[in-house]
Amino acid sequence: MIPYLFGSALFVRVVLTVLCALIAALFLFLRHVDQAAAIILILLGCLLTVFSNPLFLSFYRVKGIQIRPWLFLFTNPLSFIVYLLVLPRSLVSLRAAALGFLLAQVLPLCLFLIDMTGRVQPRVSWRYIKKYSKTGALFSLSQSFDYVFSRLDIFLIQFALGPYSVGIYAAGQRVVSLFQLIPSSFHVVELPEFHRAAAKNPLMLVERFRNLRRLLCELAFLFFGLLILNSRFVVDFLFNERYRSASTVVVLLSLSSILLFINYPYYMLGEAINKIRERLFARIYTFLLTIVLVFVLLRYSAINGAALGMVLGQLGFLFLLHRVTAGYNAGLLGLLSDTRSFVIGALALAFAFLCGRALHEGFAKVILVSVLYTLIYVVLGSWLKLVTSLGALRQLRSERSLAEQASTNNAQLQNAE
């Protein structure tokens, strides 16, 4: 079955890639667009990206091969950086950079094709294409809304405030986006396990979902708590003084990213239980709501308002995803239990912030408040886990004692009879 599914998906992508390239080239030629060659090269690079990820990456994921495809994908940014470093200054241009971008996409694609020789013989099946086209269209539309949603704030800031505000906001956004590789990596590794659990044991699916939700929540508060504490230092270190106002954006977008970490397991759960259509509608509703929130709030608080709108949008998406996956997400009590690190992180953050106010600005302060926050967060988290484990053990012993007592009573009744 895999050769037919893989071959059919590969065929569809090849056809769509050729059509998109031809339409784009014809449009640029007829409109006489400046730098048309560079745009075509960049577009071809983007179109080739979808072969390496998600198509080839999904094949390795199904086969249970995790490390090798990531090494292939890592050659993409590495080769592009090397290309830019060795490119002579006399040849530096937009077209040359676009060519390097295209070559950087071709390299992992070639590595995948060479390595997959002998692993699978692709076969095209019109029956499979017809069967999965509707689901594929829904999934593609959902991915498109995800892409636009992730850049919605930038589009609206450009429209309402102009390029200067976009530059300040984008500086803060770049700092926060560095950590988003963490949940996306778990998404790649864990999604097949979600599907296997959904097919074999729904209880196992719920347990796997809760474990991932709890883990990502704990990681989110650890990393973004440190980033919130040191937001001003990080912005000053990476950029100049003109970007200092981006520190508030970093704080707000860190809160938004915490919610994004929590939303990832829900997103995977919705796909595993075949709620792709409902998940798409949830994204569309959130998309429309976030447009209104960002556009209204940036009128009052400029780029900080836009960041706050993204926080509220992610919160609304969490609410809708929780409803879509009802019956598999352990309910509201399960959500509160799995996100209890929020309380721990808030306490650790408040204490470290108050202690940091007594220190002079500088690298020493960053080190001290970071170590203090990490220690408090880890110690409180370990203590809470210990208390929870002891409580569960005490409950188990109580239930066992009641069961033994009931068994003894039944035996006495049988003897009396």
Tell whether 414 is covered by a domain.
Answer: no
pLDDT digits (tens, 9 = 90+) for 93-118: 888 988 998 999 999 999 998 988 88
Question: What pLDDT is recorded for position 391?
Answer: 52
In this prediction, residues 163-177 reach a mean pLDDT of 87
Q: Which domain holds residue 230?
A: 133-339
The DSSP result for 250-310, as a single string, is: HHHHHHHHHHHHHHHHHHHHHHHTT-HHHHHHHHHHHHHHHHHHHHHHHHHHHHHHHHHHH
Q: Which of 20-29, 60-69, 161-170, 307-316 has the lowest mean pLDDT?
A: 60-69
Cα distance between residue 137 and residue 47, in whole Å? 17
Q: What is the pTM of this model?
A: 0.77
Q: Does 95 share its domain with 236?
A: no
Kindly report the three-state secondary structure assignment for every residue of 17-67.
HHHHHHHHHHHHHHHCCCCHHHHHHHHHHHHHHHHHHHHHHHHHHHHCCCH
Question: What pLDDT is recorded for position 383?
Answer: 63
Tell whether 416 is covered by a domain.
Answer: no
Q: Does 9 share its domain with 117?
A: yes
Tell whether 406 is covered by a domain.
Answer: no
Cα distance between residue 373 and residue 352, in whole Å? 5
Q: Does 254 share its domain with 359?
A: no
Question: What pLDDT is recorded for position 7?
Answer: 84
Q: Does 322 share its domain with 351?
A: no
Number of domains within the chain: 3
Q: Does 185 share its domain with 91?
A: no
Tell whether 408 is covered by a domain.
Answer: no
Q: Does 325 share its domain with 372?
A: no
pLDDT digits (tens, 9 = 90+) for 363-372: 888 899 999 9
